[in-house]
């Protein structure tokens, strides 16, 4: 027959002789708690208990040696499961923080010197006379994301004298631009902007990223 400690859940194999001598009041050998063995007396093992059989005879019926220790085995298993979950959560948080580290910085690293012009094309605007349409592609050659640069265009004559200068913000040359958008490493972006046509005096255009 079997009984179970009401305090720690340890399961014991007992016989009626032991119960009669102890008047049903037994001391748990696992947690030292005194409990009424008659309350959980059963001819079968309690459900969901991994009972480990033992051939050892009980010397003192008042002090039972547990056949199954619920608290030790299950607590140990639960501890390692919880530890594994915590480690996994920490790894996920670390990965998230690394991927989105620019969100948590007051300033994002800016390196306009690592942004290079890949191609450019300057034509007269097809719909507006006296306006030039400039299309260009830039690439972030840094190994980290950075804000889109300010684009400064200087118009020069054939003697490299400055005729005009215009500086454009990202929202002026990018479509669907948001304030927190970043130019990702090794990625390109297409620029499109317009400036007033200076006429034949302008023979050169100088692009600078700031």
Q: State the sign of the Cα–Cα–Cα–Cα dihedral 43, 46, 47, 53.
A: negative
Q: How far apart are CA 38 and CA 51, in angstroms?
A: 19
Confidence of residue 18 (pLDDT cuts 50, 70, 90): confident
- What is the per-residue pLDDT for 105? 56
- What is the per-residue pLDDT for 181? 92
Domain with CATH 2.60.40 in the chain: 112-209
CATH for 112-209, among 2.30.30, 3.30.450, 2.60.40, 1.10.10? 2.60.40
Say if residue 73's pLDDT is above 60: no
More confident of the two residues 140 and 84: 140
Q: How far apart are CA 128 and CA 30, in angstroms?
A: 92
Tokens standing for 56? 């050892």
3-state secondary structure of 157: coil
Confidence of residue 104 (pLDDT cuts 50, 70, 90): low
pLDDT tens for residues 42-65? 777 766 454 434 333 333 444 444
Across 25-40, average pLDDT = 83
Q: How far apart are CA 41 and CA 13, in angstroms?
A: 10
Confidence of residue 107 (pLDDT cuts 50, 70, 90): low
Look up tokens 């007992």; give the residue. Answer: 14
Across 163-168, average pLDDT = 89
Across 149-164, average pLDDT = 89
Lowest average pLDDT, out of 54-63, 86-95, 177-186, goes to: 54-63
Tokens standing for 50? 């991994």
Global pTM value: 0.47
Query: Where does residue 28 rank: exposed (0-12), middle (13-18), buried (19+ CB within 10 A)?
Result: buried
Confidence of residue 137 (pLDDT cuts 50, 70, 90): very high
Say if residue 145's pLDDT is above 70: yes
Closest CA relative to residue 115, chosen from 146, 81, 157: 146
- What is the per-residue pLDDT for 138? 95
From the CB of residue 135, how many other CB atoms can be counted at a distance below 10 Å?
14
Indicate the length of the chain as a whole number. Answer: 210
Beta-sheet strands, E only, within 14-168: 25-28, 34-36, 63-64, 115-124, 131-140, 146-147, 151-156, 162-168
Across 169-196, average pLDDT = 91
Helix then strand then coil, % of the chain, to nearest 5: 25, 35, 40
What percent of the chain has pLDDT above 70? 81
Say if residue 26's pLDDT is above 90: no
CB burial readout 58-94, b (16+ within 10 A) else e = beebeebbbbbbbeeeeeeeeeeeeeeeeeeeeeeee
Closest CA relative to residue 120, chosen from 184, 189, 196, 201: 189
- What is the per-residue pLDDT for 158? 85
């Amino acid at each position: 027959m079997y009984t179970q400690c009401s305090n720690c859940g340890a399961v014991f194999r007992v016989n009626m002789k032991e119960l009669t001598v102890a008047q049903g009041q037994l001391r748990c050998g696992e947690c030292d708690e005194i409990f009424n063995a008659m309350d959980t007396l059963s001819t079968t093992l309690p459900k969901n208990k991994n009972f480990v059989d033992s051939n050892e005879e009980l010397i003192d019926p008042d002090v039972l040696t547990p056949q199954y220790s619920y608290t030790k085995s299950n607590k140990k298993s639960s501890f390692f499961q919880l530890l594994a979950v915590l480690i996994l959560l920490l790894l996920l948080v670390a990965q998230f923080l690394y991927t989105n580290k620019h969100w948590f910085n007051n300033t994002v690293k800016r390196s306009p010197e690592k942004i290079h012009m890949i191609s450019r094309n300057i034509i007269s605007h097809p719909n507006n006379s006296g306006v030039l349409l400039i299309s260009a592609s830039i690439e972030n050659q840094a190994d980290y994301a950075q804000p889109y640069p300010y684009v400064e265009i200087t118009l020069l004559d054939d003697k490299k004298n400055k005729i005009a200068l215009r500086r454009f913000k990202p929202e002026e040359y990018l479509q669907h631009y948001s304030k927190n958008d970043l130019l990702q490493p090794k990625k390109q972006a297409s620029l499109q902007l317009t400036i007033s046509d200076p006429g034949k005096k302008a023979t050169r255009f100088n692009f600078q990223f700031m």
